[in-house]
Amino acid sequence: MSKYTLINHHDRRYETLKKGFNLRWPGNGQGADFIYICNSPASVWAAANDALKKNYRITVRSGGHCYEGFVTNKLASQRSQRLAIIDLGLMAGIEFDEQGRLRSHYNESVIYKFRIASGNQNWDGFSALYKTANRTIPGGSCYSVGAGGHISGGGYGLLSRMHGLTVDWLSGVDILVPSKAGDALEVRHVHEGSDESDGERDLFIACRGAGGGNFGIILNYYFKELPQAPQQAYLLSLAWPWSAFDSKDKLSHFLNEYWRWFSKNDEHWNSDDLSKANGGLFALLKLQHRSTGDINLLVQYTGMDGRVDGERQTEPLIDFVTHMNQAAGENAFVTTQDNLFGPIRKRHSNEPKLSNILQDARLMDWLYVTQMLNGSGNNQHGKYKSFYQVGDFSDVEVNAIWQYFNQAGDAVLNQALLQIDSYGGCINAKDEQECPTSVYQRRSILKAQLQVYWSNPMHEHHCIEWCRSFYKAFFEQQGGKPFQDNQRYQGCYINYPDIDMKYTDDSHAVVDTRWLELYYGDKRQMLIRTKLKFDPKNIFRSELSIPLAHP
């Protein structure tokens, strides 16, 4: 059906639906004029073309988790143009055929096993794939994140060290792109075997990691195969009070031992030796601001066969936890706080100390571990920054963490943290020559996300300035950004967009001519070429969208 629901400011739902997960957006007077609610590819096509015919600028939303105001905000230079959000949230569902007989309605020459609609949310996808096919995607765990933006930006999650990124499995997409005249959208199906001469193969590669809102509206994702879902997993949440790290040297030792374990063991991610095969080990180190709480380490572990009961199969988990507990110099507390998204509340005084790793960890069915971890946190205001890390932690970087996180008494920063996740493994083993993606970060060992949240709008300036100041101090030796010049970092994650990365300073007056490198590395010229080919009128644009020319 081609029918859509159009929401405008007269509708009681307007004030709610013009917003996304991050309540910073839209800013005053910057919000969308219309929201088109779509539930089918035909309704998306009709809605987008209606908006273009009326000269509205369009943005696209599936789950609504954009960290910046790219979906909900008018561009500063185009406030007079009306903005329409094309909302895909109701265009959900998956299809599965074990015989691999699924075809796109727009190109029946290619066959697949799986189709995932762009409006599908993470938890719905995990549950449906598990129940229908005993498969999964190695994507994120926040339940309400939509497939549309999540997959197109890479699709990274707790199984990525074992199975790679979701885009590494992606085989085809249905996408609405501008017609040659540029006054309407038309649907194309692009895939691994698409013709190189007409640019369609590059368009498919761009859909494998360049992020959403660059080239068109992705309707469906297709996969020829997906990994088997694990059957069981261990979950262990540990905490150390800041008092355990009473010197910068102790903190430096702890951080560098975290990096060192993954650096040393990453090559064994899929070893035939079960005592070394650690691809199923994923860790999240949460360095919380002292006023927020403790330093926490959350670990999910499953064996390479999706079980943990084989001989020597749990040795990587035991080795890693033992290593980190020794590095801390103080026995960890075992907690039941398992929040993947945002800070973890302060530890209860009666929580026990670590005594036996396998007994203290919770052994659960993997699907229920995933369900338990699938929170997205509260809807509130937030600012985020990210970086990929190849090397260890230098004195400059440790000093920045010590100065900005080990502060007492700043109650405004009671939801601030630097989350440092494990990376590498299967991600870094990806052969980019065979079927490339737009993800250039294939050497990093860790991947970090700086997060700060606040509920009172009056705290925005303080929280954002703290976030910016820490980031500049952390990257003081390389101009305040994680460029890969010194081979220690690999830029930023496009699914954690940060508008500050585009500009030379916080005034946002001068564009940094190197900002594309941070997100796309050596992929950027191909992406600009693809933008010129398929969206020369720049219909799909935001502050961090692929430009028509290099800055």
What is the band of 435 on the pLDDT scale with cuts at 50, 70, 90? confident
* 263 sits in which H/E element: helix 248-265
pLDDT at 68: 94
- 436: alpha, beta or left? (left if phi > 0; alpha if psi -120 to 50): beta
Q: Residue 141 above 90 pLDDT? A: no
pLDDT at 348: 65
**Alpha carbons 531 and 545: distance in angstroms, whole number:** 10
Question: In sequence order, what E strands does 344-396 have?
Answer: 362-365, 381-389
Three-point CA angle 472, 474, 478, nearest 5°: 70
**Alpha carbons 497 and 22: distance in angstroms, whole number:** 13
Long-range contacts of 525-530 (CB under 8 A, 24+ apart): 525/550, 526/202, 526/205, 526/206, 526/438, 527/206, 527/210, 527/214, 527/438, 529/199, 529/202, 530/199, 530/202, 530/203, 530/205, 530/206, 530/215
What is the band of 253 on the pLDDT scale with cuts at 50, 70, 90? very high
Q: Residue 350 above 70 pLDDT? A: yes
Q: Residue 340 above 90 pLDDT? A: no
Residues facing residue 300 across a β-bridge: 235, 282
pLDDT at 341: 67
**Alpha carbons 308 and 313: distance in angstroms, whole number:** 6
**Alpha carbons 302 and 279: distance in angstroms, whole number:** 8
Does residue 151 contact residue 169 with C-beta atoms inside 8 Å?
no
Does residue 153 contact residue 214 with C-beta atoms inside 8 Å?
no
What is the band of 188 on the pLDDT scale with cuts at 50, 70, 90? very high
pLDDT at 1: 58
Average pLDDT over residues 330-346: 81
Distances, alpha carbon 353 to alpha carbons 324, 334, 390, in Å: 14, 6, 32
**Alpha carbons 544 and 551: distance in angstroms, whole number:** 12
**Alpha carbons 523 and 438: distance in angstroms, whole number:** 6
Q: Classify strands 34-37 and 83-87 as parallel, antiparallel or unpaired.
A: parallel
Instruction: Tell the CATH topology of 232-496.
Output: Vanillyl-alcohol Oxidase; Chain A, domain 3 (3.40.462)
Does residue 401 contact residue 395 with C-beta atoms inside 8 Å?
no
**Is it true that 5-87 and 94-228+525-534 share their CATH fold?**
yes
How does pLDDT run across 466-502, given as a tens digit for each residue?
A: 999 999 999 999 999 999 999 999 999 999 999 999 9
pLDDT > 90 in the chain, percent: 88
Instruction: Tell the CATH topology of 94-228+525-534.
Output: 3.30.465
How does pLDDT run across 452-464, given as a tens digit for each residue?
A: 999 999 999 999 9
Q: Compute the mean pLDDT over every residue in the chain, rounded to the nearest whole number.
A: 95
pLDDT at 162: 98
Does residue 440 contact residue 520 with C-beta atoms inside 8 Å?
yes
pLDDT at 212: 92
Least confident residue range of 75-84, 208-217, 224-233: 75-84
How does pLDDT run across 380-398, given as a tens digit for each residue?
A: 999 999 999 999 999 999 9
Does residue 426 contact residue 372 with C-beta atoms inside 8 Å?
no
**Alpha carbons 413 and 453: distance in angstroms, whole number:** 8
**Residue given tokens 């925005």 in the structure block:** 460
CATH 3.30.160.40 fits 5-87, yes or no: no
Q: Residue 409 above 90 pLDDT? A: no
pLDDT at 251: 98
pLDDT at 407: 84
Q: Residue 91 above 90 pLDDT? A: yes
Q: Residue 517 above 80 pLDDT? A: yes
What is the band of 59 on the pLDDT scale with cuts at 50, 70, 90? very high
Each domain of the chain, given as residue ranges in start order, spans 5-87, 94-228+525-534, 232-496
